[in-house]
Structures are given as C-alpha cells and as structure tokens.
C-alpha cells in the first residue's frame, strides 16, 4: 500500500467516524421568549416568577397570536425530551399535569406529561411529575453524557440559571428565540459575560403582525473577525 493509499484510507476513516458521531449526538435546543434587552423572566404571567421584585410578569401576553402559537406547535411536533432547571420544573409541574381535558392546551399537556424530563436539582426525591429524572454530577459533563445517549433532541424552556451555565460551557446547539419589542430594564437575562463566544447561523426567521421576531439560530463554530482598516 502506498503512502497516498494510506492517506486516503485515513481520511475516509476520519470522515466516516465523524459522520457517525454527528448522527449519534443529539442536540440541545434552547427556546426562549426574550425582550430587546435580553430578559426572559416571567413571560407568561405576573405569578410565574416575581423574584427580585420583578413586576412585569406576563409581558408576552399582549403579543400572543396564531403565528406564535404555530411556532410552538412546530417546535414540539418533532420528538424531544425536556431539560429543565429546578425553578422552571416546579412551575411546570404545578401546571401541566392539572390541565383539564377540555382545555385548548390539553394536547400540549399530554405531550409534556409523557416525555422524559431531565431536571437539574439538588432535591431529586421531590420530582413527582411523571417521567422526571434528576441529573447528577457536574452539569456540563452530565449534558455531554446525555447527548451521547440514544434518544430525541433535548429541549429547554426558561431555566435561565441552567442555560447560562450551558452557554458558558458551549453546550447549546440551537437557539429558538422569540424577541419581543419591549425593554423591561430589569430582570433575569438569558446572556451574561460568561457565555462562550460562538457564531450562529440564522436557519429561519419570521415576524408577527405585532412585531415579534421569531428566529432559529444554529451554532456554526467560532466567531470570525476582520478589519475595515484599508492598510490591512
């Protein structure tokens, strides 16, 4: 076998191995309602999360329409498992299992109740919502291990503290953001200074009649830089 043959076989092997790994690794998708100044706290109601004296809970409600509803339906129409921080888990566990059968949200409730739920918590013995499992050990390592397991993609909503840790560890593969035309000035933000610098590609975007920008961002690698200096 010549050197060229060996080089070609090595290249083929590396490509095959990489392709198989990419197929096996499931993605972590983070979906958030977010304000222009990056706040994600209590989008659905005043009682959702008033911590830190946050008084603008429910700021997305006036913008709700069919486009946003269809975006949610499209997101959950693909197989997924939920990955939740403890505060979001407690909010959802107090709501979704109790949605009435004649409610418009019943189909979503059935789905959320049935899918596996991976929870970041220090109180694993209190996970009463069906199909809930506590993640153990270091969070980024636990997510890496979870991604390597067989199963559907991981979907996260809310869970700001957890998401910020995963952004810092470079573990977020997609962002599904609905950006609302409001400035909330204070509250829990999605991004902080610890997030890993990363480039994303806009895979899809649309807007609603009231100006909510809905976009799907897919992680594409490192941030590229340049210069407008004519001398360079």
pLDDT at 104: 81
Q: What is d(CA 195, CA 60) in angstroms, rounded to the nearest whole number?
A: 25
pLDDT at 103: 86
Would you give the DSSP letter of residue 132?
Answer: E
Within 13 Å, how many C-alpha atoms sit on residue 209's CB side? 5
pLDDT of residue 3 exceeding 60, the answer is: no
Mean pLDDT of 154-176: 96
pLDDT in tens, 19-36: 454 456 899 999 999 999
Q: What is the SS3 assignment for 7? A: helix
pLDDT at 21: 47
pLDDT in tens, 184-220: 999 999 999 999 999 999 999 999 999 999 999 999 9
Query: CATH number of the domain at 24-215, please?
Result: 3.40.430.10
């Amino acid at each position: 076998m010549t050197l060229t043959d060996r080089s070609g076989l090595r290249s083929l092997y590396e490509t095959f191995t990489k392709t198989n790994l990419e197929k096996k690794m499931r993605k972590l998708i983070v979906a958030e309602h977010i304000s222009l100044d990056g706040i994600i706290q209590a989008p659905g109601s005043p009682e959702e999360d008033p911590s830190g004296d946050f008084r603008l809970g429910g700021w997305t409600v006036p913008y709700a329409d069919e486009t946003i509803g269809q975006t949610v339906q499209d997101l959950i129409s693909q197989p997924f498992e939920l990955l939740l921080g403890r505060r979001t888990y407690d909010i959802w566990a107090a709501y979704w299992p109790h949605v009435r059968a004649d409610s418009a949200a019943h189909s979503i409730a059935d789905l959320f109740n049935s899918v596996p739920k991976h929870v970041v918590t220090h109180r694993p013995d209190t996970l009463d919502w069906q199909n809930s499992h506590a993640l153990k050990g270091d969070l980024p390592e636990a997510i890496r291990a979870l991604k390597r397991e067989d199963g559907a993609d991981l979907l996260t909503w809310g869970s700001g503290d957890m998401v910020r840790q995963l952004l810092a560890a470079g573990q977020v593969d997609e962002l599904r953001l609905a950006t609302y035309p409001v400035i909330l000035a204070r509250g829990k933000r999605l991004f902080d200074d610890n997030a890993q610098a990363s480039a994303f590609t806009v895979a899809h975007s649309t807007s609603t009649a009231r100006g909510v920008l809905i976009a799907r961002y897919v992680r594409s690698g490192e941030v590229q830089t340049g210069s407008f200096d004519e001398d360079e």
